[in-house]
């Protein structure tokens, strides 16, 4: 199958922006740790002068991510938190430059454990408070699973009304793909 260079997957598109915005020494959050790919990705950018807080509600996610960060020797500055991202303010007390959400379920695990509209929105509201000027919240959304479309609509309804004097909200989608392609929303706090 033919492949593009930058736009095959929403997570690749996301990295075009994150690579530019997140810097060595930054404090960042992975709000949906899963198998830890995003946590490792962020940790490699911020390096050991930075800090990564990573959240998930499943033990499996913690185990799988812990293995990866130990192998890559990133554990000194990565904190894995077994709790919902809606409680982000209990753990993160400083301003951050980036908060990543990759919504939905953990691939290859129980598909009943999915992110939910209410808690996702609560986490996004708290994330807006924690974000430093010119920082970014990135939200990858999937609509193919049960509840996914409701969550997407709930999140969009809220973000579409954010005051443009304070935030830029960009919504991206693959307009020529079939079968519920994922979507990406980026929120930048104005400086
Ligand atoms: C699509 S996966 C994330 C993939 C991950 N970013 C990676 O790199 O592998 C979504 C994750 O969100 C987690 N999740 C569900 N509800 C959550 C909540 N309230 N707070 C934090 N994580 C949650 C799920 O357990 C699942 O692991």
Q: Which atom from ligand 1 is nearest to the alpha carbon of 40?
A: 8
Residues lining ligand 1, CB < 6 A? 32, 34-38, 55-58, 61, 84-86, 102, 104-106, 113-115, 119
CA distances from 95 to 26, 67, 128 (A): 9, 28, 10
| Nearest CA, atom 26, ligand 1 | 106
Residue 30 maps to which CATH number?
Answer: 3.40.50.150
pLDDT(71) > 90: yes
Helices vs strands, H then E, count in the chain: 6, 7
Helix (H, G, I), strand (E, B) or coil at 102: strand
pLDDT(142) > 80: yes
pLDDT(111) > 80: no
Residue 150 in domain: yes
Is the backbone of residue 170 left (phi > 0), alpha (psi -120 to 50) or beta? beta
127 and 53 Cβ atoms separated by less than 8 Å: no
pLDDT(110) > 70: no
Q: What residues make up the domain containing 114?
A: 10-189
CA distances from 166 to 46, 161, 169, 174, 191 (A): 26, 11, 10, 27, 8
Residue 4 in domain: no
Show Cβ contacts of residue 141 under 8 Å, excluding neighbours closer than 6 positions: 103, 104, 148, 151, 152, 155, 182, 183, 184, 185
For residue 62, report the distance from its CA to the centre of ligand 1, in Å. 10
Distance, CA of 126 to CA of 106 (rounded, Å): 23
Question: Average pLDDT, stretch 133-156?
Answer: 97
Distance, CA of 162 to CA of 169 (rounded, Å): 8
pLDDT(125) > 90: yes
Query: What confidence tens digit (pLDDT) does each residue in 14-62 have?
Result: 999 999 999 999 999 999 999 999 999 999 999 999 999 999 999 999 9
Distance, CA of 155 to CA of 118 (rounded, Å): 9
Q: What's the pLDDT score for residue 112?
A: 78
User: CA-based angle 19:25:31, to the nearest 5?
Assistant: 65
Residue 3 in domain: no
Greatest distance between any 2 Cα atoms in the chain: 46
Per-residue confidence band for 1, with pLDDT thresholds at 50, 70 and 90: confident
For residue 64, report the distance from its CA to the centre of ligand 1, in Å. 12
Residue 5 in domain: no
Question: How many separate domains does the chain show?
Answer: 1
Q: Where are the alpha helices (DSSP H) in the chain?
A: 10-21, 37-46, 59-71, 88-91, 117-130, 148-159
For residue 101, report the distance from its CA to the centre of ligand 1, in Å. 8
Residue 1 in domain: no
Q: Which atom from ligand 1 is nearest to the alpha carbon of 65?
A: 9
For residue 113, report the distance from its CA to the centre of ligand 1, in Å. 8
Residue 2 in domain: no
Residue 182 in domain: yes
For residue 102, report the distance from its CA to the centre of ligand 1, in Å. 7
Q: In testing the pocket of ligand 1, which one of 11, 12, 33, 82 has its CB within 8 Å of the most ligand atoms?
A: 33
Report the percentage of the chain scoring pLDDT > 70: 98
């Amino acid at each position: 199958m033919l492949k593009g260079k930058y736009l095959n997957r929403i997570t690749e598109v996301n990295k075009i922006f994150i690579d530019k915005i997140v810097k060595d020494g930054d404090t960042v959050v992975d709000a949906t740790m899963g198998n830890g790919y995003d946590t490792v990705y962020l940790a490699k950018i911020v390096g050991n002068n930075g800090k990564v807080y990573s959240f998930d509600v499943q033990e499996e996610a913690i185990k799988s991510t812990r293995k990866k960060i130990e192998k890559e020797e990133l554990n000194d500055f990565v904190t894995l938190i077994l709790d919902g991202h809606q409680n982000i303010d209990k753990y993160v007390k400083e301003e951050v430059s980036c908060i990543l959400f990759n919504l939905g379920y953990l691939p290859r695990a129980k598909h009943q454990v999915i992110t939910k509209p209410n808690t996702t929105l609560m986490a996004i509201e708290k994330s807006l408070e924690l974000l430093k000027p010119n920082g970014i919240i990135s939200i990858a959304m999937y609509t193919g699973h049960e509840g996914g479309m409701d969550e997407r609509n709930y999140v969009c309804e809220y973000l579409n009304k954010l005051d443009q004097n304070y935030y830029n909200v960009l919504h991206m989608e693959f307009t020529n793909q079939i079968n519920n392609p994922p979507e990406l929303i980026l929120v930048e706090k104005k400086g």
